[in-house]
């Protein structure tokens, strides 16, 4: 057993529902078999458990590991493709790179870079958009198991309008997905997610096969994209002849409490109502939305309808793996919305990057905060001495202020150590 001594910040009580930031200046966290067994003032914890090793993490901040609810494995090397809207970016930046993962040697290298990128960013749990190639998805799960992160992912499927190498058939999509799920779903920390790319590239037959797979793999997740870009939305409306984008998934029973839809920048009120009724979550990806010019996310409307929202980095349209950066960008974009914007404070940002993600992924009983009974999935933010963040933290007026400084100035370089289930994970 180990006692971690640190300044601990987390958000066990939803700040969007009136909860406050939980901040303990000199806390002791007792970890037994990867689980938090006790927590309180360090002096009390040490006195109660005098024989245990103490890991001194004073200086910096101990936060829950981040939960990234939308990030693309095959796009690590596509990060930085600036200057294009969604459909052009897919065609010119993302999809040519994704096609390269047909080569398993290439895919294995990208899987290592991808898992390393998550760890470097302090992310311990992720809902990962996989590859169109089953062998590459298998390599991703293999690497996730080796590194130790909590990964939910699956085979990405499409049967129209993308380059030929990335297309499949309903039968093959089912068979390959089923085989991957049998191999990896519930194995270690891995879980399977049924993943049609977006309904623009998926006909009704393929979405039907997704319904079958979701039905046949117990407790599998569902993830896709929705309402990201005007041209995309108009094309989907034309292809399906439906009233709303959401109907293209909902008509195939793909929308429920284990569904996470990315973006939703331009939802109708009707769609928000249905998402709330189904208990589905939305992954908000602020740097991607800014970079592709997709728009300003209507967080206030999601909250008004009761649609759960968490953060996603959306690498590679997003600007890197750091959810500190995503949190800051989310704050900026709500500011830019003026009257329609939701005035985010630091506790909201931490919640969106941790406990909200755990909830979206059905993992709230295990991760998302550093309370007693949770797994010790954590990150120690400890800026190098003399950096601007180091100075800022040392002069912070209090925990909220320290957290604001961490989101404003923090980068992956400030993530010193990352734990999953009490074990250090290394990039």
Q: Which stretch binds ligand GUN (CB under 6 A): 86-94, 177-185, 295-303, 324-332?
A: 86-94
Residues that bind Zn ion (CB under 5 A): 262, 314
Neighbouring CB atoms inside 10 A of 164's CB total: 6
Contact between 144 and ligand GUN per CB under 6 A: no
What are the DSSP E strand ranges found in 103-258? 123-129, 150-154, 156-157, 190-196, 221-226
Contacted by 27, from Zn ion, ligand GUN, none: CB < 5 to 8 Å by type = none
Given the DSSP bridges, would you call strands 53-56 and 2-10 parallel, antiparallel or unpaired? parallel
Least CB distance to ligand GUN at residue 62 (A): 32
Contact between 197 and ligand GUN per CB under 6 A: yes
Among 133, 141, 184, 198, binds ligand GUN (CB under 6 A): 198
Least CB distance to ligand GUN at residue 40 (A): 43
Q: Among residues 129, 68, 110, which one has the least CA distance to residue 325?
A: 68
Among 275, 317, 367, 420, binds ligand GUN (CB under 6 A): 317
Contacted by 86, from ligand GUN, Zn ion, none: CB < 5 to 8 Å by type = ligand GUN
Residues 237-276, one symbol each (x = binds ligand GUN by CB under 6 A, - = not), give ----------------------------------------
Contacted by 198, from Zn ion, ligand GUN, none: CB < 5 to 8 Å by type = ligand GUN
Angle CA(96)–CA(117)–CA(369) in degrees, nearest 5? 130
Contact between 311 and ligand GUN per CB under 6 A: no
Nearer to ligand GUN among residue 9 and residue 360 (C-beta)? 360
Phi, psi at 132, each rounded to 5°: -75, -10
Per-residue burial over 108-124, b if 16 or more Cβ lie within 10 Å, else e, is bebbbebbbbbbbbbbb
Contact between 185 and ligand GUN per CB under 6 A: no
User: How many residues comprise the chain?
Assistant: 427
Please answer whether residues 389 and 410 qualify as being in contact, where contact means their C-beta atoms are separated by less than 8 angstroms.
yes
Dist. CA 410–CA 322, nearest whole Å: 9
CA distances from 216 to 76, 159, 251, 354, 383 (A): 31, 21, 18, 30, 47
Neighbouring CB atoms inside 10 A of 400's CB total: 17
Contact between 284 and ligand GUN per CB under 6 A: no
Among 62, 94, 330, 361, binds ligand GUN (CB under 6 A): 94
Q: Residues interacting with ligand GUN, by CB under 6 A?
A: 72, 86, 90, 94, 197-198, 225, 228, 288, 314, 317
């Amino acid at each position: 057993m180990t006692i971690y001594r640190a300044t601990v910040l987390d958000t066990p009580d939803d700040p969007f529902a009136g909860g406050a930031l939980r901040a303990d200046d000199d806390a002791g966290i007792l970890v037994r078999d990867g689980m938090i067994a006790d927590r309180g003032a360090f002096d009390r914890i040490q006195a109660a458990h005098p024989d245990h090793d103490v890991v001194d993490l004073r200086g910096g901040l101990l936060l829950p590991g981040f939960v990234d609810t939308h990030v693309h494995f095959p796009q690590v090397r596509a990060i930085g493709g600036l200057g294009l809207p969604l459909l052009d970016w897919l065609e010119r930046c993302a999809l040519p790179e994704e096609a390269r993962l047909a080569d398993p040697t290439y895919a294995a290298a990208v899987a290592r870079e991808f898992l390393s990128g998550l760890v470097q960013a302090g992310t311990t749990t992720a809902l990962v958009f996989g590859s169109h190639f089953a062998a590459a998805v298998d390599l991703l799960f293999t690497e996730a198991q080796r590194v130790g992160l909590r990964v939910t992912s699956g085979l990405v499927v499409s049967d129209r309008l993308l380059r030929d190498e990335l297309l499949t058939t309903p039968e093959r999509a089912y068979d390959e997905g089923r085989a991957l799920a049998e191999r990896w779903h519930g194995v270690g920390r891995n879980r399977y997610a049924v993943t049609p790319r977006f309904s623009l590239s998926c006909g009704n037959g393929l979405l039907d096969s997704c319904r079958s797979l979701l039905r046949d793999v117990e407790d599998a997740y569902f993830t896709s994209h929705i309402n990201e870009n005007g041209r995309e939305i108009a094309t989907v409306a034309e292809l399906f002849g439906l009233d709303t984008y959401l109907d293209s998934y909902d008509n195939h029973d793909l929308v429920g409490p284990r569904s996470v839809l990315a973006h939703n920048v331009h939802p109708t009120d009707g769609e928000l109502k249905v998402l709330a009724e189904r208990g589905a979550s939305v992954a908000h990806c602020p740097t991607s939305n800014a970079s592709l010019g997709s728009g300003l996310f209507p967080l206030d409307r999601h909250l008004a309808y009761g649609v759960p929202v968490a953060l996603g980095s959306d690498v590679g349209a997003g600007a890197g793996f750091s959810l500190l950066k995503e949190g800051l960008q989310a704050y900026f974009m709500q500011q830019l919305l003026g009257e329609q914007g939701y005035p985010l404070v630091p506790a909201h940002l931490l919640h969106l990057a941790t406990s909200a993600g755990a909830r979206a992924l059905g993992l709230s009983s295990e991760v998302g905060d550093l309370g007693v009974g949770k797994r010790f999935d954590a990150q120690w933010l400890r800026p190098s001495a003399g950096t601007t963040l180091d100075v800022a933290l040392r002069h912070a007026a209090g925990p909220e202020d320290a957290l604001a400084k961490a989101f404003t100035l923090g980068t992956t370089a400030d993530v010193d150590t990352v734990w999953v289930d009490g074990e250090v994970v290394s990039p």
